[in-house]
Structure 1
Amino acid sequence: MTEKLQENTDHNKHPKHDFQVERLAFFSDAIFAIAITLLIIEFKIPHVTKESSFDSVWEQLVELKYNLLALLLSFFLIVTYWMRHHFLFKHIHNYNKQIVIANMAMMLPIIFFPFTTAFFAESVDNIHVVILAFRIFLLNHILAGLTIYILYWLATVKHKDYSFEMSITERKKFTSDLLFTTITFSVICSVTFLTSNIQAILWVFLACGISKKIFDSFSKKAVSKTA
């Protein structure tokens, strides 16, 4: 009976249906690629003249150190979000208006990454502005985490017939990694309202990282016992 119903569903399906799902994924991939590429725009070529010396050009390059660190951090995080998005679309085989809107909502914080990254990098030398820039940078990543979780929930929980079933291990790892990142950035953002001490903020980040490692080890043991 189930096979017959599946045959009827496939027969009535629009011939371009599968391509439309892929089209949604391709469109998102393009936005991720553009966001990553735009990160490099803030790197200005050193101004070199006939009078320029090795030391003067090197100093101009050294001045870009904060831009480089911010770029590497954002590059890593954008790639992480893309991998999660890619993982979701490995399972999503159907869509509706809610899933399309959720996917587009996720693209919004992604396109802001080049701006928040540049703002944070340019504000590092100004102690009065850097905390504001850092909060906006963190908020950008919090929104990215929340929107991809909404997409995950809509596609695999509310409309679970629109996606292939995930294994328990895959589901736990996806949600725990995503929630850890979002909660960590939320905690650090909250700490910035209590102190502007960068060392204290780094200690909070380190504590969150250790907590994640402990949580992962317990989760693996729980899964192995269940299996």
Structure 2
Amino acid sequence: MTPKLDTAQQHHANHEKHPKQDFQVERLAFFSDAVFAIAITLLIIDIKVPKITKDSTSETVWVQLVDLRYSFFALLLSFTLIANYWIRHHFLFKHIHNYNRKTLIADMFVLLPIIFFPFTTAFFAESSENKQVIILALRLFLLNNILSSLAIYTFYWMAIIKHKEMSFEMAIQEKITFTSDTLFTTIIFLIILLITFITENFQIITWIIIISVTSKKIMDTLLKKRLKQ
């Protein structure tokens, strides 16, 4: 079903639509998708296959694979996070039908922190067994996520709220869900970042992350029930 346009949007669509407007919006979406795809693919680049010689055995190779456990964990974590940011970005482009310079710049700022994920992920994985460095790596990883969440929300605000003539109307439930998800994620990462300056006990930080994720799941469930009512 085609979303309905308000009067201003109809006027814009009927009288001011550039013949290449749809194509240009698709170019912006495709370019953004390519950046997300490249970033998510580069996560695997730093994970090297075990070194195998004629004297290698399955046991020695298995030990090398086990040594890569932190790298695989960091990869899966970053894959999930980047995929989540892409899903939100994709959701916004379901509504966007035009752009201006400000929304274009906002979209570029979405992509900026995304391209840093392969670096911060590799740094976090490499520092996993060094207690003196891992907190620094964690802080950079958290900062990467904070900037990504803020950039996604800024793009949403610019394209859907401030310059609403650039997009189809979004349902109020969708606005509430998108805003709560994005800002809650930002706040949680920010709180965890601040806690790393209070304590460098990685076990405590890990428990805080687990509690935060659980709280997010509970909040999502309650919000969905509230919206259904």
Q: Indicate whether the TM-score tops 0.5.
A: yes
Query: Which residue of structure 2 aligns with residue 141 of structure 1?
Result: 145
**Comparing both chains, which one has the higher relative contact order based on Cα–Cα distances under 8 Å and sequence gaps of 6 or more?**
2
Partner residue of 1:35? 39
C-alpha separation in 2, matches of 1:181 and 1:106: 15
| 1:12 to 1:164, Cα distance in 2 relative to 1, 3 A | closer
> Which structure 1 residue ranges, 4+ long, deviate > 4 Å from structure 2?
2-5
Alpha-carbon spacing, 1:12–1:179, altered in 2? closer, same or farther (3 Å): closer
Task: Show structure 1 runs of 5+ residues with no match.
Answer: none
Matches within 5 A, 1:51-130: 51-130=55-134
Q: How does 1:161-200 map to 2 (within 5 A)?
A: 161-200=165-204
Alpha-carbon separation, structure 1, partners of 2:30 and 2:62? 40
For residues 157 and 145 of structure 1, the distance between their equivalents in structure 2, rounded to whole angstroms, comes to 17
The letter of the residue matching 1:224 is K
Question: How big is the shift at 1:11?
Answer: 4.4
Identity between Structure 1 and Structure 2 (%): 60
Count of residue correspondences: 224
What residue identity is the alignment partner of 1:194? I
Secondary structure of the residue that 1:31 maps to in structure 2? helix
Amino acid at match of 2:137: A
- How far the C-alpha of 1:54 sits from its partner, in A, is 1.6
Matched, 1:160 2:160: no
- In structure 2, list runs of 5 or more residues that go unmatched: 1-5
Change (3 A) 1:158 1:12: closer
Give 1:85 deviation, angstroms: 0.2
What letter is aligned with 1:40? I
**C-alpha deviations, 1:132-186, integer Å up to 9, x for none?**
0010001001000000100000011110111111112111111111111111111
Provide the residue aligned with 2:14 in structure 1. Answer: 10
What amino acid maps onto 1:204 in structure 2? I
RMSD: 1.9
